Amino acid sequence: MHFRCGKSGAKKGLRIPATGLRFCLMKLASIVTGAILTLSLFSMFLLFAARPAQAHTETVLYNFTDGSDGAYPEQTLTSDHAGNFYGTTLSGGLGYGIVFELSPKGSGGWNEIVLYSFTGGEDGANPSGPLIFDSVGNLFGTASGGGTYGDGVVFELSPLGTGWRESVLHDFAGGADGKFPISGVIFDAAGNLYGTTYNGWKTATIFEMSPSGSGWTEQVIYAVETSGAGLTMDAAGNIFSATYSEVFELSPNGNGGWTPTVIHTFTAYPKDGYYADTAPVLDKAGNIYGTTLEGGPDNGGTVYRLRPEKKGKWTETILHSFKGFKHGNAPVAGIVFDEAGNIYGTTLWGGSQDWGTVFELVAPVGKGGYEEKILWSFTGADGLGPYAGVILDSAGNLYGATYKGGTTYGDNYGYGVVFEVTP
């Protein structure tokens, strides 16, 4: 039995969008744990040295064991300058998810510390986005449920003595305010926070939060259908994001508002790609990269690039179309690239056991195309279902998490792992 949601187990013709798929996975998690789950700046490093292609090995850095230490990590990790990793799990802890830290042991191996365990009440429930640091070491994130109105919160974790203190910065109340923030937040240069909400199949919002005295003020700056994707901001303060069928930009209009521009509409389904609801990635030349969960000639999803042209036009190129099965299927997370232009990411399914992959797209030399390399195929005990993307260190090692799998793999497919893939 394969790890799938929905009625169909077919490897082609997937009809669950990335965000909807996440909620499907959450439902599965709630059955396993007995918890009642509500609907649920990307985190990346740029590698500054190219590395040659070679064989890779995978190491499980941490197995989530029984739920008390967290269960079902679904978001990309964050790292500090000391080499510690930070992340969230959708469930576990007191039943409603945790924020964790992984620190390397001096003698080898890794220690996990639960920095905060959500209660499901006013403090939030089911942390659903990646974490970010501010300049003084506080962590910021979102929880898709809980809060005063049960519609999710934006939270901050601040170091306090030997522990951490959680503060709710904003309670979502539904309606025009939005609800179910699922993709984390990003900072601008002035210290304002931006994020997205996802209201099922209805209108979603992009919100801004500004420090105001001892608190924060939230306002909706854009309403968009079926979003929930993460945000990316360029040096000029423009925001980029995506819906299932569009990539768009929000530009400051000089009067405190924002001007929306649709950069690309995915129209040639399935060859053009569809369900592009992950945070776009920008390179130094201003090109935009991202993934689509579906589409391409084999309907296994795509990696695309949008190149700016004259008069505000953008040209789309499909850099890679996933074939499914052993080649990878459903790149549900975003991508990261190194200085040489090689692209790295994960697919939720595909690989040798159909439990997901870590892949590399090797940048072309001359007029050639990108070459896909499967760096690792998950088999269960080493993880399965990598919903999160990967980050890179300066040595070319990749780090990520899988939603399921691990040492408890035989027990309802396990609680997930944090892994390293090494050249």
pLDDT tens track for 244-253: 889 999 999 9
- The residues, any chain, with a CB within 8 Å of residue 138's CB and separated by 6 or more, are 156, 157, 158, 159
Distance CA 393, CA 58 (A): 15
- Nearest one of 175, 238, 228, 234 to 206, comparing CA atoms: 228
Q: How far apart are the C-alpha atoms of 422 and 405, rounded to whole Å?
A: 19
- pLDDT above 90 (res 343): yes
Cβ(164)–Cβ(155) below 8 Å: no
CA–CA separation, 303 vs 313, rounded Å?
20
pLDDT tens profile 266-305: 886 667 888 887 899 999 999 999 999 999 888 899 999 9
Buried b vs exposed e over 165-177: b needs ≥16 C-beta within 10 Å?
ebebbbbbeeeeb
pLDDT at 52 over 80: no
Q: Is 135 exposed, middle or buried (0-12, 13-18, 19+ CB in 10 A)?
A: exposed
- pLDDT tens, 103-155? 998 878 899 999 999 999 999 999 988 999 999 999 999 999 999 999 999 99
Which pLDDT score, from 0 to 100, does residue 277 have? 78
Indicate if the pLDDT at residue 12 is higher than 50.
no
Mean pLDDT, the chain, rounded, equals 85
Nearest in space to 240 (alpha carbons), one of 206, 193, 204, 212: 206
Task: Tell me the per-residue pLDDT of 63-72, one tens digit each, with 9 for 90 and over.
Answer: 999 889 999 9
At 410, is the pLDDT very low, low, confident or very high (cuts 50, 70, 90)? Answer: low
Q: Tell me the Ramachandran region of residue 2: left when phi exceeds 0, alpha when psi lies from -120 to 50, beta otherwise.
A: beta
Provide the pLDDT confidence category of residue 73 given band limits of 50, 70 and 90: very high
pLDDT at position 201 is 56
Identify whether the C-beta of residue 327 lies closer than 8 Å to the C-beta of residue 378.
no
Given this model, what pLDDT does residue 411 score?
66
Q: What's residue 223's pLDDT?
A: 87
What whole-number percentage of the chain has pLDDT above 90?
65
Which pLDDT band, with edges at 50, 70 and 90, does 15 fall under? very low
Residue 259 to residue 157: CA distance in whole angstroms = 33
User: In the chain, what is the straight-line distance between the N-terminal and C-terminal CA atoms, in Å?
Assistant: 32
Q: Phi, psi at residue 211, to the nearest 5°?
A: -60, 135
Give me the mean pLDDT over the 207-212 stretch: 93
- Tens of pLDDT, residue by residue over 210-263, are 998 889 999 999 988 766 789 999 999 999 999 888 999 999 998 889 999 999
For residue 104, whether the previous peptide bond is cis, meaning omega lies within 30 degrees of 0, is no
pTM for this predicted structure: 0.87
Average pLDDT of the residues in 313-326? 91
- CA 26 to each of CA 96, 145, 192: distance values in angstroms, whole numbers, following the listed order: 11, 12, 30
Is a pLDDT exceeding 90 seen at residue 4? no
